[in-house]
Structure 1
Amino acid sequence: MATTTTTTTTTTTTTDAPETGGKAAAAAAAGGTSGIKSFLSGGFGGMCLVAAGHPLDLLKVRMQTSTQYKSTLDCFRKTLAESGVRGMYRGMAAPLVGATPVFAICFWGYDMGQKIVRRAYGLSPTDALSTGQILFAGGFSAVPTTAVMAPMERIKCTLQVSSAGAGAAYKGPVDAALGIVRAGGVASLFKGTCATLLRDVPGSVAYFGAYEVVKKTLTSRSAGEGSISPLAVVTAGGLAGMANWAVAIPPDVLKSRLQTAPDGRYTGVRQVFVEMMRTEGPGALFRGIGPAMLRAFPANAACFLGVELSLQAMNRLW
């Protein structure tokens, strides 16, 4: 869920897609976490991720789709001067509204991936999965999530690269969605779906792999078996987010270019890649990696912590 993006995220991903960890994970393993609790806690974690990371995500997209910025700081200064503080949250409504279904589907996809592995290897629900099996489940989670993530990313990126103020192309996410449909039909909302999948499958593999390894290391040092401290949740979630973007940033650049280009400009992600290599070189694939990495740790740390705290609160209520 890079994208987010990511927690039963399994996160957003792109989404950035995480898992609950700690007491929440222990409860899930024991069958104590219902589907509705996973859905609600994952959605809350996704909203935490969006709120914490959107300003840096906006800088990332603007740097990916324009060559007028010299650095992350330069992009921040120009965006702030042009749009003010409120402008830093431009385009946030779409991913915020979409966070709950995206993270819910991501959790479901991750669970489905685990079930496929257990069935294939004849494992019981209580058997621990190997790192390779976790990686497969993480990658699988991106497949169903993309169906929701792609149009949401299309709207978000379109809003983020449009100018603020009186000259703004769209007034908000609904207006942007309607404008995109008017210009290119419903199918236009799904432009960049293959690019989103190309980004989120390897990104989710890295995301879940890093989270599980870090969580396991930190949990083994915790006082109680099956428990993990909030600091460990934050650390594991933040590092997982950085691992995700270390892998996902090149296809994310291609996705952003494709989704923000006028209809008919590109035939697909392959043409975006070929033209970018010819005109800008390989370095362009890592454009925006600065704000992406700066955003990854706090956004995904907030996501995992939001999932854990909300799940604990629901477990106390019912």
Structure 2
Amino acid sequence: MQSGDPSEQATPGKITIKAPVSASSAAAENVKAFVAGGFGGVCAVSVGHPFDLTKTRLQTAPPGTYTGGLDVVRKTLARDGPTGLYRGVVPPLLGVTPIFALSFWAYDASKRLIRVLTPNRAESALTTGELATAGFLSAIPTTLVTAPVERAKVLLQVQGQAGSGTQYKGVADVIRHLYREGGIRSIYRGTFATLVRDGPGSAAYFAAYEVTKKALTPVNASSSDLNISQVILAGGTAGVAMWAIAIPPDVLKSRLQSAPTGTYSGIVDCARKTIATDGVKALWKGFGPAMARAFPANAATFLGVEASRKLLDGLF
């Protein structure tokens, strides 16, 4: 499997300075990162959506609605059948290609930007801190797509729980309702909370993946020599690293995006009211399902990214 940045295929232990990249080559790398990221996102949603639905319902339901993640699954299956576990899957499937495509493209672009800003580098390979910085920067443009997709997904996921009726017929219906309710501002509710979650989360995500790949790469070998099981391990580790720190802001994001208009004035108000009502432990609701999802979903993500990237490298 091949990593997204050719400059990082140097032999360990040797100082390698990357030659200037032509405009056509840079454009090709951008396309590859974009397409591979989108394919990885489809893999992530296919594997991880039932876990994500369970997490969201735990985070947003009134106290006492569920006893835990397994209770969410049991009640969802009893009410809606197996397809109920994929309620709200359309928004992430529709949005996942641009979200993950933007994320992996922005990550590669951020790594190139860091190199441009540090021209007198002793080595081509970025440090762990620089990889984390690139990961954080990748979340900024991605949030513009992630926030409205997450808003629609959360509203679809929580409808029907605790005996509530079905308000929305699908993602298009959600967007129409939100626009009539409050225009673009309503559609983008929770954008800052999304960035608060995804900035640090993406920093941990990409840095953990790169560090784990480096640790698994044999001496005098390239990361392109990693086998499928090693890519799965690195991808799963990245997911665990991200969600280990992302749950509290994710809880606040889910509550902001699912609550009636006027319930919260922002993420700080949401945090204050959540802690006052349910205690600090409420900020960790959904931790179990999120962590259960983290490894398989993100292993699938990076496996999809690496496999599609290898295919694209063979094409152009």
TM-score, L = length of structure 1? 0.87
Separation of aligned partners in 2, 1:92 and 1:57: 10
- Is residue 2:314 matched to residue 1:316? yes
Greater Cα radius of gyration, structure 1 or 2 = 2
Between 237-246 and 162-171, the greater mean CA deviation after superposition: 162-171
CA distance in 2, matches of 1:90, 1:218: 37
Residue 225 and residue 249 in structure 1: after superposition, are their counterparts in 2 closer, same or farther (change >3 A)?
Answer: closer
1:114 equivalent in alignment to 2:115: no
Runs of 4+ deviating beyond 6 Å: none
Specify the alignment match of 2:251 in structure 1. 253
CA distance in 2, matches of 1:306, 1:225: 16
Query: Is 1:133 the counterpart of 2:158 in the alignment?
Result: no
Match of 1:23 in 2: 2
1:55 matched to 2:50 = yes
Aligned to 1:194: 192
Distance in 1 between residues matched to 2:114 and 2:147, nearest whole Å: 26
- Give the conservation status (yes or no) of the 8 Å contact 2:8–2:124: no
CA distance 1:125–1:312, shift in 2 (3 Å):
farther
Structure-1 separation of matches of 2:5 and 2:42: 23
Q: Structure 2 CA distance, aligned partners of 1:257 and 1:118?
A: 39
Alpha-carbon deviations, 1:96-136, whole Å to 9, x = none?
A: 11111111211232123223322332256971111111111
* 1:27 Cα deviation after fit: 4.4
Partner Cα separation in structure 2 for residue 301 and residue 50 of structure 1? 12
Q: How does 1:72-221 map to 2 (within 5 A)?
A: 72-123=69-120, 127-163=124-160, 167-220=165-218
Cα distance 1:27–1:186, how it changes in 2: closer, same or farther (>3 A)? same
CA contact (8 A) 1:29 1:126 kept: no
- The CA deviation at 1:220 is 2.7
Structure 1 stretch displaced more, 29-38 or 294-303 = 29-38
- How far apart, in 1, do the equivalents of 2:125 and 2:220 lie? 19
Deviation per residue, 1:24-44 (Å, 9 max, x gap): 446475777532222211111
Work out the CA distance in 2 between the residues paired with 1:141 and 1:86.
Answer: 33
CA deviations on 1:72-93 (whole Å, 9 max, x unpaired) are 1111101111111111101111
Work out whether residues 233 and 304 of structure 1, in 8 Å CA contact, stay in contact via their aligned partners in 2.
yes
Q: Which residue of 1 aligns with 2:278?
A: 280
Equivalences, count: 297
Unmatched 5+ residue regions in structure 1? 1-21
Q: What amino acid does structure 2 have at the position aligned with 1:181?
A: Y
Distance across 1 between alignment mates of 2:152 and 2:108: 28
Seq. identity, %: 49
* Match runs of 1:224-235 below 5 Å: 226-235=224-233
Q: Give a deviation string over 1:50-71, Cα, whole Å, max 9, x none.
A: 1100000000000000121111
8 Å contact kept, 2:7–2:125? no
Tell which deviates more after alignment, 242-251 or 23-32: 23-32
Aligned equivalent of 2:17: none
CA contact (8 A) 1:237 1:301 kept: yes
Separation in 2, partners of 1:167, 1:146:
30
**How far off is 1:212 after superposition?**
1.4
CA RMSD of aligned residues (A): 2.2
Conserved 8 A contact 2:36-2:305? yes
Letter of the aligned partner of 2:58 in structure 1?
A: M
- 1-structure distance, mates of 2:222, 2:181: 57
**Which residue of 2 is the match for residue 4 of structure 1?**
none
Query: What CA distance in whole angstroms lies between the structure 1 residues aligned with 2:222 and 2:7?
Result: 17
Distance in 2 between the 1:81 and 1:134 partners? 45
Report the Cα distance in structure 2 between the residues aligned to 1:241 and 1:82, rounded to whole angstroms: 30
Q: Does 2:60 match 1:65?
A: yes
1:292 alignment counterpart: 290
For residue 12 of structure 2, what is the aligned residue in structure 1?
Answer: none
- For residues 265 and 310 of structure 1, the distance between their equivalents in structure 2, rounded to whole angstroms, comes to 44
Q: Any residues of structure 2 matched to 1:38-49 within 5 Å, and which? A: 38-49=33-44
Residues 136 and 199, structure 2, Cα contact 8 Å, conserved in 1: yes
Give the alignment's TM-score, normalised by structure 2: 0.88
